[in-house]
Structure 1
Amino acid sequence: MEGRRRKMTEEGEGEGDDGAGIGGFARLPEECVARVLAFTTPRDTCRAGLVSAAFLSAAASDAVWANFLPPDCAQILSRAVRPLEYSSKKELYFRLCDPILVDDGGMSFHMERSTGKKCYMISQRTMSIIWSDHPQYWRRIHHPESRFAEVAELLSVCWLHIGGTIDSQLLSHRTTYAAYLVFKLAPDSYGLNSTSQFASVKLGAYALENSVSLQPDNNEDDSDDDDNGGGDDDNDSELEDDDESKDADEDDEEARRKKVKMCLREDGWLEVELGEFYNDEGDEGEVEIKLYETTELHWKRGLIIQGLDIRPKL
């Protein structure tokens, strides 16, 4: 039996093969194999090319990889700041898996590698940042690790309100997306972890609001306990017994806030999820994304913004 398996592997078919399995597939015209692969995913197609020599040519064909490119690929390429050079649709696909600048550098575009879903980052230049035109509050500087020409650095404000929009037509259909603020913190940053700091995402009739933190605070748990207790430490347990409903609500709010704290990206930047939304057919207009703290009005400093990242939530 082992010898027969070896023979099937080496020759592509085995004695008595009735056309099923790899041996039978190998006898199909390349166009038929390519048509089948076009109904799979980019990841599956790459794996299929490793199965046998019969699959290799079909798995690299333009007919397959054209199916994985976005329907508006030609329009995306026309918006690119620099023209892309490629010799095949497969090469173009993987070139587009790395970010390219579009719209005069106001946004970047790339595709999620395993699925081909579209991803965009809105640069800080294209975003709406209140007071950003006042040099005493914000400044725009070059940053060597940014994909854009400039980033926005917060110098000092108490009223924080930033946001951006993207047309849902630009995004992949029938896909759940999440929006992220991509940023860094200056060494002297402060005031960016207020409990009244909120983010919202809106598309059509759908709207979502979250509480977010942009700055780590090692004493956060202690300060929250003090606020929740409303008195001396000796009285904490009595207050919890007297008002269990209030404590439960506060615990829920704290859990929600912790869920959207910042995290480190592979490119060395930080990000925080501002919210998610479902893009059905791309016919609901613009996605509106906001981050704001306009209630407690704490002074803030040191937020360095690269942009808003909108990508599929996998």
Structure 2
Amino acid sequence: MATRLNMLPEDCVSTILSLTSPADACRLMLTSSSLRSAAASDLVWSKFLPYDLPCILSRTHSQQLFSSKKELYLQLCNSVLIDGGMRSFSINKMSGRKSFVLSARALSISFSEEPKHWTWTTCSASRFSEVIELKTASSIQIEGRINTQDLSPNTIYGAYLIIHVSDRAFGLDSIASEISVSKDECSVSNTAYLCPLDERKQLLESLLFTNRRRMMEKLVVEGEGRRPSKREDGWMEIELGEFFVGQKNEEVQMQLMEVKGHQLKGGLTIEGIEVRPKC
């Protein structure tokens, strides 16, 4: 392919590459030094940037400085704060599809302003100025909302609750929580535990909560009992569900809610909910 492209004018090569993908353009830059200029041109990378980029940049927390569209693209592969620091925005390096993280402040969290239950605090590991930490509560309800017009069309998205569980956490693994993602009248539910699987802890809690757990399982919708998994940024995440973004603008509701268990719990820190492409 590179040999044939070498026979064309540079602007023609750039036009052709703009119809491919960021991954294709990067591969060509590595395989052919003679085509590197065409593959790095603004004509190519402006096509890979989101069509509504001017609107997104107007919402950024700080000004983006760049000398080329390719440099801007690579900057946006790392998250940038928008909406007064309430959200972060990034694009997938390989596809250019958009991702957002809704901070804890952008979520609806039951009793979040009651200091005996939750406390707002700072965390050096977070991209946001504040995270929220659960001190003690008998129930948890977390909800986030996003409009599909902010996302990349014709894309399957996943919604992920970003958390940290302290060594002193308690009550988070005794009862499953109900998780759901809803769009218009379509809603998909599942169940999840807020603690990663710990065989020792699981054995102890099974002795203490066996009867209670069996009773509560009847109240929880059937599901796979998802567990948190580690992220590259040091946090953990629970997938709340997935949804498809078409051409129509719709509001997506993402939720985690403990069913009627009233088990005291604490030691959970919430950074936010990430909405990112699954493919």
TM-score (ref. length: structure 2): 0.91
Q: Is the 8 A contact 1:170 1:282 kept in 2?
A: no
Q: Is the 8 A contact 1:195 1:211 kept in 2?
A: no
Equivalent position of 1:192 in the other structure: 172
Equivalent position of 2:256 in the other structure: 291
Q: Please, which runs of 5 or more residues in structure 1 have no aligned partner? A: 1-20, 231-248
Describe the SS at the equivalent of 2:24. helix
> What CA distance in whole angstroms lies between the structure 2 residues aligned with 1:181 and 1:23?
47
Q: Does 1:272 align with 2:254?
A: no
For 1:175-254, list aligned pairs within 5 A.
175-216=155-196, 217-218=198-199, 219-220=201-202, 223=206, 253=222
Q: How many pairs were matched up?
A: 270
Query: Structure 1 stretches (4+) deviating beyond 4 angstroms?
Result: 224-228
Residue in structure 2 matching 1:86, options 60, 66, 80: 66
Q: After alignment, is 204-213 or 300-309 more displaced?
A: 204-213
> What CA distance in whole angstroms lies between the structure 2 residues aligned with 1:118 and 1:282?
17
Describe the SS at the equivalent of 1:95. helix
Please report how far the alpha carbon of residue 62 of structure 1 lies from its aligned counterpart in structure 2 after TM superposition: 0.4
Higher strand proportion (structure 1 or 2): 2
Describe the SS at the equivalent of 1:36. helix
Q: Does 1:104 align with 2:75?
A: no
Structure with max Cα Rg: 1
Equivalent position of 1:233 in the other structure: none
Q: Is the 8 A contact 1:196 1:295 kept in 2?
A: no
> What CA distance in whole angstroms lies between the structure 2 residues aligned with 1:304 and 1:269?
10
Residue in structure 1 matching 2:103, options 102, 123, 128: 123
Q: Is the 8 A contact 2:176 2:193 kept in 1?
A: no
TM-aligned CA distance change 1:226 to 1:196, over 3 Å: closer
TM-aligned CA distance change 1:272 to 1:29, over 3 Å: same
> What CA distance in whole angstroms lies between the structure 2 residues aligned with 1:83 and 1:215?
38
Q: Is the 8 A contact 1:138 1:153 kept in 2?
A: yes
Once the two structures are superposed, residues 272-294 of structure 1 have per-residue CA deviations (whole angstroms, 9 ceiling, x without a partner) of 111111111142x2110111113
Please report how far the alpha carbon of residue 150 of structure 1 lies from its aligned counterpart in structure 2 after TM superposition: 0.6
Q: CA RMSD of the aligned region, Å?
A: 2.2
Q: Is the 8 A contact 1:124 1:152 kept in 2?
A: yes
Residue in structure 1 matching 2:115, options 132, 135, 146: 135
Q: Does 1:28 align with 2:8?
A: yes
Q: Is the 8 A contact 1:171 1:282 kept in 2?
A: no
> What CA distance in whole angstroms lies between the structure 2 residues aligned with 1:25 and 1:97?
28
Q: Is the 8 A contact 2:190 2:222 kept in 1?
A: no
Please report how far the alpha carbon of residue 53 of structure 1 lies from its aligned counterpart in structure 2 after TM superposition: 2.9
Q: Is the 8 A contact 1:215 1:262 kept in 2?
A: yes
Q: Is the 8 A contact 1:100 1:108 kept in 2?
A: yes
1:55 corresponds to which letter in structure 2? L
1:199 corresponds to which letter in structure 2? I
Residue in structure 1 matching 2:37, options 51, 54, 57: 57
Higher helix proportion (structure 1 or 2): 1
Describe the SS at the equivalent of 1:49. helix
Describe the SS at the equivalent of 1:125. helix
Once the two structures are superposed, residues 19-58 of structure 1 have per-residue CA deviations (whole angstroms, 9 ceiling, x without a partner) of xx54442121111111111111101101111222331111
> What CA distance in whole angstroms lies between the structure 2 residues aligned with 1:25 and 1:273?
43
Q: Please, which runs of 5 or more residues in structure 2 have no aligned partner? A: none
Describe the SS at the equivalent of 1:173. coil
Once the two structures are superposed, residues 45-97 of structure 1 have per-residue CA deviations (whole angstroms, 9 ceiling, x without a partner) of 01111222331111000000000000111111110010000000000000000
Equivalent position of 1:150 in the other structure: 130
